[in-house]
Structure 1
Amino acid sequence: MSIYWNPQCSLLNMRMTPNLKVLLLMSLVAYTCRGDTLEETRSINPIDKPEWVVKDALSSISTTTPPDEMIVTSPSLVAILLAEMGYVTQAAMTDIKAIKAALTDFQKDIEVQTTGELDDKTWQKLSAVKISATRKAELQFISSTVQNKTLWAQYMLLNLGYQPDAIDKGVTIWTKMAFSRFQKHHGLKVTGQLETKTFDTLVEAFKNQQTVESFSDENISDELATTISDHHYRHPPLEKLLRIKTAQLNIYLESLDPYSQYLSPDEYQLYKKTVRSRIKIGLGINLLGDDQHVIVVPLRNGPAYQAGLKRPHFLRKLNGKKVTFKTLLSEAPPQYKRGSIIKLAVSKSPLGAIKHYRVKVRAFRRDTIELISEAKVNLIRIHELTSRETAKQLKRVVKKLPADKKVIIDLRYSPGGSLFETLDAVSLFLPAETPLITLVDQADYEEKFSALKGEIAQKRAIDILVSPHTASSAEVFALILKHYARARIIGTLTQGKCLSQQLFDFEDGSAVKLSVYDILGPDNRSCQNVGVMPDIKIDRNHILDTAFIMNRMN
């Protein structure tokens, strides 16, 4: 891969913080330690005298650590710069003593105090030297490893105005936000990650100096910034939020917690049409997954169920293409048009035999609870805890079951839902006034909740099936009944999402979903990033196999 190099745009011909200096020095050390010397690649006519391209910003350079530490930590770069001007003959072979002697000569020529140390004034001049085309070789090396490729990308983002002054070896939240803003400007998929296409586009933008000023985008509104600062449970500082561009907001929110999200006006309209309506248009499936697997859960009497897919399976291919959960979320929705045919390739286990289904996209009714007969038992499967629906439906279904049979509640495929609906539902199995949860907001204000009247199953045994996909309010449901020994938990450790979200909408049609409360269980502990431990453990590979689970339970 060739990289355009403009002599005026040096790695060193820029404003740099002390950390940036050291990091770039460290990156270039590896180049000179390969045994190459600058003399082997430099131009035919060496620079006899320093030729300066000094930016005004260089005059404000200050270091919090002694500048001469750079000679010790990264002598190679200092030697390269001195060799570029003829003060050193072989950069790779020069020791610190020789470097300090060369610096003394250099300081005489630029008429500063001759100390032999890399002080601020000396660094100011040395880092401002006009770089020849020979630096192209060094840049090619910088981009040859993942770590240094990221550093080089950060430098380009900084040069184009996307990233603040801080550059680090790792990818910080500010780097991700810079990537996302650059990706949006250049019509790339917004991921906040340094992918090959992003890097290549970044090189071209750097070549053509397409700075951030070439594009128009806006900071988030004061109202949105204030809402996030005032209501998110981590209370992010308002002054930081006011600097964030709209295109960067979701990356920033992700750094606070994985569940907060900004919805543009178009996204919020789609959300209201799909999430809030019981009549859906689609395949009649729930999709759950992680980096390794995608699980497809058919809804009774939905299009996939009618096509023959009766039970949850691992999704192997969608329309002939292998998918991950991440790609599925980003690529599948455009194909979901009424009347279109979607091909699903599924299996009972991650590597099992594949079965194929053709499913026609159509309208269907989505119920939050289903009574399912599977493996010779009746399961109450809760797909989602929906406000003003789930508790009533659960009460009705439990009353239909024979009084001498245990209640088996299947939460394996439930990502959660309404927290307050969860408290209504769990109250069906506990005496009134039983302490349930405590909510803690960003000001550490606590609000406690107890069970409502209406217990209907005082003496009935309860089993709850859980999986790694059991999350949020579904975990709270299981956690409460486990704490009071009202239910056995069977399955795997749950996801560990114990934060409560609230949706805030705005006059421009946009909305933001924020994590506003930390949820403490009856023991006054949070299950955030902890999850609910099962009483009977089931291997993850068998978590879809209800018959296997029933055998273990018995």
Structure 2
Amino acid sequence: MKKQMKFVVAILVTAALSSAITFVITKQGAVSVSGDEKFSKLMAAYTKVKDEYYEKTDDQKLVDGAIQGMIASLDDPYSTYMDQEEAEGFNNTISSSFEGIGAQVEEKDGQILIVAPIKGSPAEKAGLKPHDHILKVNGKSTKGMSVNKAVSLIRGKKGTDVKLHLNRQGVGNVDVTITRDTIPLETVYAKLTKDKIGEIQITSFAETTSKELDKAIDDLEKKGAKGFVIDLRDNPGGIMTEAIEMSNDFIDKGKVIMQVEEKGKKQVYKAEKERKVHQPAVVLVNGGSASAAEIMAAALHQSSGIQIVGEKTFGKGTVQNAQNYNDGSSVKLTIAKWLTPDGSWIHKKGIEPQVKAALPSYAKLPYLSPKKSYELNDNGDEVKAAQKMFQALGYKAKANGEYDQAFQSIVKSFQTDNDLKADGILTGDTTTVLMTKIQDKLKNNDTQMKKAIEVLKKEMK
């Protein structure tokens, strides 16, 4: 689009939705609009601002503002206008190659929420959890903020820090400082247990995920895998076509994978090739399993009888696509809703597992930064979280949020047990060892994975 025509970009974008409008540019450079009265009103407003506003205006900002307002009027958190920087970040996320903290963020009911951290990312290491409510980013309130604006504040160059002020249900408000890094490219992680069960964790649905999954299945089958646990926990979704391709690995040819409904018209997507996996399988999900992850979970259950284990999923049942413009900006728009094979719409409802399983309560505790110091006479939610961690490790701490002499003695005992300086202050190496032991305990006591394997073994008999 020519630069001298920037001032009609908003009209041209809108006109793509209707052909009942024409533009006439006079010799004096004025623009007249004939056709639909609604578009004449829009241009009249633009002209008035351009000609009469008491300060100098910026054509591009006016155009961007018009588009942003049009998209915002849809009241849909998944439809958004992205400027050049935001569009680049979105495209990088889809290709699973970018720098930041590595967490999917969404706006829901006016709140900026963590959908799920990415495996191996700074966000996961910092202990971010699904449904964490981001109250502030580097001290700036997210109230009334668009999700794209929040993401632009959170994302940044490798090695830089971002401070998040969070609210976590059942824990309270916590501050987390995260050092940004390069986000891992891999989206599929697989291992074979001693019982010949293939555990396949899928962290997102990016451009190469279906190929990664096929390779993981082939490698596990060569090693003698007798069954599979498909771990979709904390998987925020991604590319719909990848979910369809991957679901086909577990579903017989001709069976329905999903349906897409657009303005009342339904399109049914079926398995187009012979299934790849014939061994028993189960799917593992939690509240961070969203979008494409929910497509796959529902497809495997409803069209292949595969049981779902874990917790209710996030509940995102809409489909978006992105329209890129010559200046690098983009509009991401909800174009349809997707339905499960039986025609159910899980939007804002989620998918209930057939077999429910939760992680231990300490799995929801926040990350404590080794850079912060907690000592005698301190108090608050973070002290209370630390006390619960010590409880989980077998120490007789009271979770009252008070750093009293009794808790100081417990910290000293922990330090002595781990060859640390026994000064009774929770900071530095003491905090690092505490967090590492909690993570190791959770890894060794993954009650959801244990339940999934238990269910799978019954299927394997």
* Counterparts of residues 1-150 of structure 1 (less than 5 Å): none
Q: 2:98 aligns with which of 280, 284, 288?
A: 280
Contact 2:126 2:178 in 1 (8 A): no
Q: 1 CA distance for matches of 2:274 and 2:87?
A: 36
Q: Taking structure 1 as reference, are residues 500 and 317 closer, same or farther at Cα in structure 2, changes over 3 Å only?
A: closer
- Answering whether residue 76 of structure 2 is matched by residue 257 of structure 1, we say yes
- Answering whether residue 332 of structure 2 is matched by residue 433 of structure 1, we say no
Which SS does the other structure have where 2:331 is aligned? strand
Q: Taking structure 1 as reference, are residues 386 and 344 closer, same or farther at Cα in structure 2, changes over 3 Å only?
A: same
Q: 1:461 aligns with which of 268, 281, 292?
A: 281
* Counterparts of residues 259-408 of structure 1 (less than 5 Å): 259-272=78-91, 274-286=92-104, 291=111, 294=114, 297-300=117-120, 302=121, 330=149, 333-334=152-153, 336-342=156-162, 350-351=170-171, 360-371=179-190, 379-387=199-207, 389-401=208-220, 403-408=224-229
Gaps of 5+ in 2: 1-5, 20-35, 43-62, 365-441, 455-461
Contact 1:259 1:514 in 2 (8 A): yes
Q: Taking structure 1 as reference, are residues 323 and 494 closer, same or farther at Cα in structure 2, changes over 3 Å only?
A: farther
Q: Taking structure 1 as reference, are residues 247 and 298 closer, same or farther at Cα in structure 2, changes over 3 Å only?
A: same
Q: 1:548 aligns with which of 430, 436, 447?
A: 447
Gaps of 5+ in 1: 1-216, 231-237
Q: 2 CA distance for matches of 1:304 and 1:357?
A: 10
- Answering whether residue 199 of structure 2 is matched by residue 410 of structure 1, we say no
Q: Taking structure 1 as reference, are residues 343 and 261 closer, same or farther at Cα in structure 2, changes over 3 Å only?
A: closer
Which SS does the other structure have where 2:210 is aligned? helix
Q: 2 CA distance for matches of 1:434 and 1:257?
A: 32
Residue type of the partner of 1:281?
Answer: E
Q: Taking structure 1 as reference, are residues 353 and 407 closer, same or farther at Cα in structure 2, changes over 3 Å only?
A: farther
Contact 2:257 2:341 in 1 (8 A): yes
Q: Taking structure 1 as reference, are residues 359 and 379 closer, same or farther at Cα in structure 2, changes over 3 Å only?
A: farther
Please name the residue that 1:523 is paired with.
342
Aligned-residue offset at 1:398: 2.3
Q: 1:489 aligns with which of 304, 308, 317?
A: 308
Q: Taking structure 1 as reference, are residues 239 and 509 closer, same or farther at Cα in structure 2, changes over 3 Å only?
A: farther
Contact 1:318 1:342 in 2 (8 A): no
Aligned-residue offset at 1:351: 2.1
Residue type of the partner of 1:415?
Answer: P
Contact 1:430 1:455 in 2 (8 A): yes
Q: 1 CA distance for matches of 2:274 and 2:141?
A: 45
Q: 1 CA distance for matches of 2:81 and 2:228?
A: 39
Q: 1 CA distance for matches of 2:146 and 2:15?
A: 34
Aligned-residue offset at 1:531: 2.9
Please name the residue that 1:125 is paired with.
none
Please name the residue that 1:149 is paired with.
none
Q: 2 CA distance for matches of 1:380 and 1:315?
A: 29
Q: Taking structure 1 as reference, are residues 537 and 265 closer, same or farther at Cα in structure 2, changes over 3 Å only?
A: same
Q: 2 CA distance for matches of 1:445 and 1:338?
A: 45
Contact 1:422 1:473 in 2 (8 A): yes
Q: Taking structure 1 as reference, are residues 458 and 533 closer, same or farther at Cα in structure 2, changes over 3 Å only?
A: same
**Partner deviation per Cα, 1:75-99 (whole Å, 9 max, x = no partner):** xxxxxxxxxxxxxxxxxxxxxxxxx
Q: 2:318 aligns with which of 476, 494, 499?
A: 499
**Aligned residues: CA RMSD:** 4.4
Please name the residue that 1:225 is paired with.
14
Please name the residue that 1:84 is paired with.
none
Residue type of the partner of 1:338?
Answer: K
TM-score, normalised to structure 1's length?
0.48
Contact 2:360 2:447 in 1 (8 A): no
Q: 2 CA distance for matches of 1:541 and 1:507?
A: 50
Residue type of the partner of 1:461?
Answer: A
Q: Taking structure 1 as reference, are residues 398 and 522 closer, same or farther at Cα in structure 2, changes over 3 Å only?
A: same
**Partner deviation per Cα, 1:112-139 (whole Å, 9 max, x = no partner):** xxxxxxxxxxxxxxxxxxxxxxxxxxxx
Q: 2 CA distance for matches of 1:541 and 1:243?
A: 58
- Answering whether residue 268 of structure 2 is matched by residue 448 of structure 1, we say yes
Contact 1:408 1:465 in 2 (8 A): no
Aligned-residue offset at 1:381: 2.5
Aligned-residue offset at 1:342: 4.5
Which structure carries more strand by proportion? 2
Q: Taking structure 1 as reference, are residues 348 and 294 closer, same or farther at Cα in structure 2, changes over 3 Å only?
A: same
Which SS does the other structure have where 1:526 is aligned? coil
Q: Taking structure 1 as reference, are residues 527 and 319 closer, same or farther at Cα in structure 2, changes over 3 Å only?
A: closer
Please name the residue that 1:534 is paired with.
353
Aligned-residue offset at 1:527: 3.1
- Which segment drifts farther, 361-370 or 476-485? 361-370
Residue type of the partner of 1:439?
Answer: V
Aligned-residue offset at 1:391: 1.2
Contact 1:435 1:450 in 2 (8 A): yes
Q: 2 CA distance for matches of 1:358 and 1:412?
A: 24
Q: 2 CA distance for matches of 1:541 and 1:289?
A: 27
Highest relative contact order (Cα 8 Å, sep 6+), 1 or 2?
2
Larger radius of gyration: 1
Aligned-residue offset at 1:424: 0.5
**Partner deviation per Cα, 1:54-103 (whole Å, 9 max, x = no partner):** xxxxxxxxxxxxxxxxxxxxxxxxxxxxxxxxxxxxxxxxxxxxxxxxxx
Please name the residue that 2:405 is paired with.
none
Contact 1:293 1:324 in 2 (8 A): no
Which SS does the other structure have where 2:273 is aligned? coil
**Partner deviation per Cα, 1:415-454 (whole Å, 9 max, x = no partner):** 2211111110000001122222333323x44332211324
Please name the residue that 2:32 is paired with.
none
**Partner deviation per Cα, 1:251-293 (whole Å, 9 max, x = no partner):** 5434353311122344324434x33544322234555786497
Residue type of the partner of 2:273?
Answer: K
Aligned-residue offset at 1:535: 0.9
Please name the residue that 1:101 is paired with.
none
Q: 1:480 aligns with which of 299, 312, 334?
A: 299
Residue type of the partner of 1:453?
Answer: K
Q: Taking structure 1 as reference, are residues 511 and 358 closer, same or farther at Cα in structure 2, changes over 3 Å only?
A: closer
Residue type of the partner of 1:548?
Answer: T
TM-score, normalised to structure 2's length?
0.56
